Amino acid sequence: MELTALERAVLDKLFSGDHPSFPALRAQLERVRVLERTFTPVGFFSDLMVPEDLPPATLAKDAVWFGDVFADFEGLVHGASFVVRIADGRLEMLEGSTVDESWPSEGTSFRLRYEPEPRQLDALG
């Protein structure tokens, strides 16, 4: 499956900037596929697959959870947060969740932002 517009926007924003791991992760975004997308009442999990012929990103740990992107959705009071799991230098899962509100329907307008600002990239090494 292809990434949704929201997933694409979140991942693009997550890997925007000049951290040394970001070029490899941006290259993976060009060919990443969604193996499975699971919705919950308050969010979603998307299992990701990156082709083996793409080089892995170099990170300080074998597996990290990274997320500093938040979305303000029309109709949600608290918005949503996102985290991506990167294992062995490859995108593995994207998770989005709200704070005690129902996940918005597909096509709901949103605005992405970083929190905290300035960004804290220490988790990536």
Which residue is it, tokens 């979305």?
71
Q: Please tell me the number of Cα atoms within 13 Å of 77 on its side-chain side.
A: 4
pLDDT digits (tens, 9 = 90+) for 90-115: 999 999 999 889 999 989 999 999 99
CB atoms within 10 A of CB 119: 14
Residue 83 vs residues 14, 52, 53, 95: alpha-carbon distances, Å: 9, 23, 25, 5
Q: Using the predicted structure, report yes or no on whether residue 122 has a pLDDT greater than 90.
A: no
Q: Which residues, other chains included, contact 107 with Cβ-Cβ below 8 Å and sequence gap of 6+? A: none
pTM here is 0.95
pLDDT digits (tens, 9 = 90+) for 29-47: 999 999 999 999 999 999 9
Residue scoring higher pLDDT (123 or 47): 47
* Average model confidence (pLDDT) across the chain: 95
Nearest CA to 4 among 112, 116, 119, 106? 106
Q: Is 92 left (phi over 0), alpha (psi -120 to 50) or beta?
A: alpha
